[in-house]
Amino acid sequence: MPFSPDDGTQRIRFVACPFCSWSHKLFKTGDFVTLKGKRVGEAKGWFRFDSGRKDLNTAPFIDVRDASGGRGRSLKRIAGECLTLKEAMQKEEYKDLIESLKNQINQIQKILES
């Protein structure tokens, strides 16, 4: 939730993802979600790493999208070419990616258990 310290500024807390380093708002209010002047979103609540995720056994890990629509167009998923985590583990081309994921998980686990 936004908060105001004594200096009069308004601040918003973010979670920096330990995997991708992207910042996600810690509390999603929906206040700034607008489209052509109309409010589109509703308050979503506290950020969770598992929110909105499907079963990780079936969810795409390698997500292939069609980028031929040009700039500003949506990238439609090509379902038949996407790979689950287990499928990606079987492909040699993703070996380094999977290894880096394992290493990051191990580092996070060590911190959480210390």
What percent of the chain lies above the pLDDT cut of 90? 31
Q: Specify whether 61 is located in the same domain as 45.
A: no
Look at the chain and report how many structural domains it folds into. Answer: 2
Q: Specify whether 36 is located in the same domain as 58.
A: no
- Average pLDDT on 69-80 reads 80
Length of the chain: 114
C-alpha 63/C-alpha 93 separation (Å) is 15
**For residue 80, is pLDDT > 80?**
yes
C-alpha 13/C-alpha 4 separation (Å) is 11
Q: What is the pLDDT of residues 9-30, one digit of tens each?
A: 667 777 777 777 777 777 766 5
Q: What is the pLDDT of residues 94-108, one digit of tens each?
A: 999 999 999 999 999
What pLDDT, on the 0 to 100 scale, is given for residue 26? 73
**Structural domain of residue 26, as residue ranges?**
1-52
C-alpha 3/C-alpha 12 separation (Å) is 7
Which residue type is seen at 87? E
